[in-house]
Amino acid sequence: MIFSLTILGCSSAIPTQNRYPSAQVLHHHNNQFLIDCGEGTQMQMQRFSIKASHLNHIFISHLHGDHYLGLMGLLSSFHLLGRKNDLHIYAPPELEEIINIQKAVANTVFSFNTIFHHLNNQNEGLLFENEKISVYSIALKHRIPTFGFVFREKQKESNIYKEAISAYNLSIDDIKDIKNGKEYYDKKGLLVPHNMLCKPSEKAKSYAYISDTVYDESLVNKIENIDVLYHEATFGEDLRDIAREKFHSTALQAAQIALKAKVKTLIIGHFSARYKNEDVLLEEARQVFPNTYSAVEGKVFPV
């Protein structure tokens, strides 16, 4: 099962030569989820060979330009390439108006339907699910309405061994019970160990995208035990005050959230252009949470 994250952009508001604004693609089985879509996202997708044939859901965390200005260009290219599939866009409501006015002035009707799902603090919760994954929104604390996104794989059932089915002559009801973890007793009334009947499925994994936010401990219980956490880290400790003032986080604060939430892996990004080399931020984060990595364009992280 593929479950991985490709970083397309990791700058904060001002891009640099090595860092485009926020955008990333989460690959899950046959689905691609685009998370934020800063200026140049379509070029970065080309650069990193992201085909977008299975991209039907786009999540926009908030309407600061570095998180959505690439969307209209991406949609226009989808249109020019003849896309037919519906495209779901999860974003604050004003984005629909922005896209619509840009379509209107270009006198363009897209070749596909765009279905906008308006995010607001009241509807925090489940945004989307299919048989394999669920996506939730979390309200963040930034200067304008801003959302994080949590992707939780659904727990797969255990796989019953074919040999066990014939050896114990298991009924469909038996199989269902065993998959659900119920104890099984054979015809002689003896307990059969679970691992002789089935191979446990892989544990369901999870990914959380925490976009622009001030340091906020109320996030911790919403992302507890997440496998991979992306958390913005715009500034270093040298600019902790500016971070608070601008409703951003430092790398060390991102690490503190990761530690408190007991996540397995932390990825930091959204680096201010003033840090030519983000290693200073990475080092600060690793002092608190050693299993931290930098979002680097084109890098693929397994979830």
Active site positions, annotated: 66
Considering the complex, state which of residue 105 and residue 191 has its C-beta at the smaller distance from its own copies.
Answer: 105
Least Å distance, CB 232 to its own copies, is 16
Helix (H, G, I), strand (E, B) or coil at 258: helix
- Judged by CB under 8 A, the chain residues 181 through 240 that form the site for its own copies are none
Which structure tokens are listed for 221? 């219980």
Stretch that binds its own copies, among 102-110, 165-173, 208-216, 237-245 (CB under 8 A): 102-110
Answer whether 13's CB lies under 8 Å from 247's CB: no
70 near its own copies (CB under 8 A): yes
Residue from 27, 57, 64, 152 touching its own copies (CB under 8 A): that is 64
Tokens, residue 86: 């519906």
Alpha helices (runs of H) in the chain, residue ranges in sequence order = 41-47, 71-80, 94-105, 162-168, 172-179, 194-197, 240-245, 251-260, 279-288
Nearest CA among 242, 231, 243, 211 for reference residue 288: 231
Q: Does position 73 bind its own copies by CB under 8 A?
A: yes
For residue 273, what is the DSSP state? T
Q: Confirm or reject binding of residue 63 to its own copies (CB under 8 A).
A: yes
Asked if 97 touches its own copies (CB under 8 A), the answer is yes
Least distance (Å) between residue 54 CB and its own copies: 20
d(CA 270, CA 209): 12
User: Is 282 a residue that touches its own copies (CB under 8 A)?
Assistant: no
Q: For its own copies, give the closer residue by CB, 48 or 161.
A: 48
Q: What secondary structure letter does DSSP report for 17? A: S
**Of these, 53, 85, 94, 111, which contacts its own copies (CB under 8 A)?**
94
Contact positions with its own copies (CB under 8 A) in 129-188 = 143-144
Q: Provide, rounded to whole angstroms, the least separation between the CB of residue 42 and its own copies.
A: 7
Query: Which residues have C-beta within 8 Å of that of residue 301, sequence separation ≥ 6?
Result: 4, 5, 7, 228, 265, 267, 293
As a whole number of angstroms, the distance between CA 268 and CA 219 comes to 16
Residue 76 as a binder of its own copies (CB under 8 A): the answer is yes
Closest alpha carbon to 209 in 254, 252, 260: 254
Nearer Cβ to its own copies (80/167): 80
Which positions lie near its own copies, rule CB under 8 A? Answer: 13-17, 20-21, 39-40, 42-43, 46-47, 63-66, 69-70, 72-73, 76-77, 80-81, 92, 94-95, 97-98, 101-102, 105-107, 143-144
